[in-house]
Amino acid sequence: MNFELRYASRREEIWRWYWGAWRRKTWRVHALVLATIVVWVWVLAPAGASLASMGLSALLWSVLAMAVLVGWPQLRFKPQERTLRVDAEGLETWIAGRSGRRKWSQIRSIFEEGGAVVLETVTGNAFVVPDRAFSSPDERASFVAFAKRSVVRSWQARNQP
């Protein structure tokens, strides 16, 4: 079974996915970044620095770090039409003159959220496929079932002795 979908993402769809990912797991990374900043500000503070100045410094660096972490998906956003081809081996995508290929073993999870099918990679990136990319609810359901089966098969094949 093969699928070829064409769609253009919207910023709010990417933001919705990012916010969901943040609630599920990314907040831990952000908390670690904030803790690291606090430790570095304390370690690198000049002798005799006041607690207030260290706190202000940590706050400013933390705000900057969070702005970069939260803003990155929005900065990398591509509004152009994407072609996503899915087959038994994995998925292939083309957008804005660039292309890429992911094997099913590189997909960590597939779920439905906020009017989209989300294929999250093991690196934390995601393909957010909006409902409008599908010609019908049946095609969407077939796509989801096929993708989930393919991921399971891929992981089972990798974990067999």
| Per-residue pLDDT band at 3 (split at 50, 70, 90) | very high
pLDDT tens digits for range 51-84:
888 889 988 998 888 888 778 777 777 888 999 9
pLDDT at 117 over 90: yes
Which residue has better confidence, 118 or 79?
118
Residue type, 58: A
The domain segmentation of the chain, as residue ranges, is 3-9+80-158, 11-75
Tell me: domain 3-9+80-158, CATH 2.30.29.30, correct? yes
pLDDT at 141 over 90: yes
Residue 148 CB neighbours (<10 A): 16
Which residues have a Cβ under 8 Å from the Cβ of 116 and sit 6 or more positions away? 13, 16, 17, 128, 129, 130, 131
| Per-residue pLDDT band at 86 (split at 50, 70, 90) | very high
DSSP 39-71: HHHHHHSPTT--HHHHHHHHHHHHHHHHHHHHH
